[in-house]
Amino acid sequence: MNSSKKKVLIILIIVVIIIAVVGGTYAYFTASGSNSGNIVGSTYTSDFGIEVYEVQKSTSLIPLNDDLVTTAVNKTSDKCLDNDGQEICSLYKLDVVNNGVAIDLQGFIRTSTSTYTSNNLKYMVYTENRGSYTPVTDALVLTHNSGDTVYFKKNNTNFTTSLLDGTTTPQKVTYYIVFWISEIEGEQNEDQSKTFDCKIGFESIYGDKLTSTFVVSA
């Protein structure tokens, strides 16, 4: 394909993450709204959608050791809660649905605005099979500059989502994305009263631009 003719498909969800720390680290992740998309003219059959579901929406997030994130997600009940019932992560389900031709996508999180200064806020992406959650990315640090993009990566390589042809039967791929504040075994008050908002999305070189926005309210 001639690079000058490459087009980009982008599916976006807007997520607001608010960090409010008083003598400790607390956060809440809230999301509500609906998706809407618009295809910018081409003969390419782009027809994609993305839906977000809250599995565990935390309101008083406390720091979590990175090595324990997968354990917290894999709990059979009370996911993202510790043994004392404290919230240690926020977990969302993402459904990416294809009603068009087969396509490969790359997921990302793109910073919109941030007053966050540390590298403690992280995310990881999982697949699920019969109740078992397997990470498909590394633990990735959310960045602070507007427009910065952190692609879904495993071993420093972008993770690719392959959607089969959905023109006859819609093809759906489901992911789970978890957010947490990394435990540094020390004072974390530098994160007090910080805010972070971002766009979660998928993009490809094969299709026209398509945006699907998930509206978030705090």
**What pLDDT does 157 receive?**
93
Whether the Cβ atoms of residue 72 and residue 80 lie closer than 8 Å to each other: yes
pLDDT band at 86 (very low <50, low <70, confident <90, very high): confident
Beta carbons within 8 Å of 211's beta carbon, 6+ residues apart: 10, 11, 12, 37, 38
Is residue 213 pLDDT above 70, yes or no? no
The model's pTM is 0.78
For residues 126 and 206, give the distance between their C-alpha atoms in angstroms, rounded to a whole number: 25
Q: Tokens for 31, please give them.
A: 């999301």
Query: 41-83: per-residue pLDDT in tens?
Result: 334 455 667 777 888 887 777 888 999 999 999 999 999 999 8
- Least confident interval from 92-96, 113-117, 174-178: 113-117
Percent of the chain whose predicted confidence (pLDDT) is above 90: 24
Reference 182, options 73, 55, 67, 85; nearest CA is: 67
Q: Where are the domains of the chain?
A: 3-204
Is residue 10 pLDDT above 70, yes or no? no
**What pLDDT does 109 receive?**
83
**What pLDDT does 27 receive?**
36
* Cα Dmax for the chain: 57
For residues 216 and 218, give the distance between their C-alpha atoms in angstroms, rounded to a whole number: 7
- Bridge pairing between strands 153-154 and 157-158: antiparallel
